[in-house]
Amino acid sequence: MKFVSVLLISALTTMSLVAHSQEAPPPPFKGEAEAGAIMVTGNSNSENWAAKGKAAYQQDKNIYSMFGQYIRTEANDVESTKNWNFGVRYDREFTDYLGMFVSQKYESDPYAGYVQRDSTDIGLKYWLVKGDSFNWSTEAGYRYSKQQNVGTGTTYDQLIRLYTEINTAIDKEFSFRYWIEYLPNMTNPDRYQVNTEASINAMLNSMFSLKLAYLLQYQNEPAPPGEYNTTTTTLNLVAKY
């Protein structure tokens, strides 16, 4: 009897150790928030505000996410930058490397020539590399866009969307992300767009980091008074949870 009891206790102890040694499954909900602000008063007054956030919930092979961003710049009571975007997205994983997505995005940037742009996307996502320290994914799909321009009416466009993104961990404290998006226009070939961003994260602790990002947006045929190129450099505090 004592021998059976010893075996039972040993088995239970072993099972407990194995269970604790296994990695816990990732949480179904993930979120990330960024914020940055610069205010100057005295000889000249200026305000710079930047906020960005995203959240995702995963249920089996389904991922539901939402995202948004807001940037505003004002100097001596004269506004020079004001843009925002908000969107929702659904991803479905077919395999570990292949999936599909559907998304809806709303954005506004009057200084780039449009009061509001609504974009509906559908397409496929494929992971070229998927690892602990390096990830490389691509997306290809179709976009329908409705753009309300500043003083020149509304345009409707059908576009092809080609996108690729690289994420790599340089070491335990630093990580690098780069993405580029090309949008050839099937309605008007001269109205194609290219967007790209490079960013680097420096970890402060397990939750907070500093993020330096440089975003370039190009419109080949912008609506007045928009420019061909728009660049945005941000330094934000990031919280991940």
Calpha distance 135→109 (Å, rounded): 31
- What domains appear along the chain, each with residue ranges and CATH number? 28-240 (2.40.160.40)
Confidence grade of residue 227 (pLDDT, cut at 50, 70, 90): confident
Q: How far apart are CA 199 and CA 184, in angstroms?
A: 25
Report the pLDDT averaged over residues 108-132: 95
Which has more pLDDT, 79 or 209? 209
Range with the poorest average pLDDT among 5-19, 121-135, 159-173, 223-237: 5-19
Summary mean pLDDT of the chain: 88
Q: What distance lies between CA 228 and its chain's CA centroid?
A: 23
Q: What is the pLDDT of residue 101?
A: 98
The answer to whether 57 touches 67, Cβ cutoff 8 Å, is no
Residue 122, strand partner residues: 102, 142
Instruction: Please name which of 35, 37, 48 lies closest in space to residue 79, comparing C-alpha atoms.
Output: 48
Residue 21 pLDDT > 70, yes or no?
Answer: no
Q: Could you tell me how many residues make up the chain?
A: 241
Question: Tokens 């008063």 correspond to what residue?
Answer: 41
Please state the rounded mean pLDDT for residues 37-48: 75
More confident residue, 39 or 207: 207
Q: In terms of C-beta density within 10 A (0-12 exposed, 13-18 middle, 19 or more buried), how is residue 82 classed? A: middle
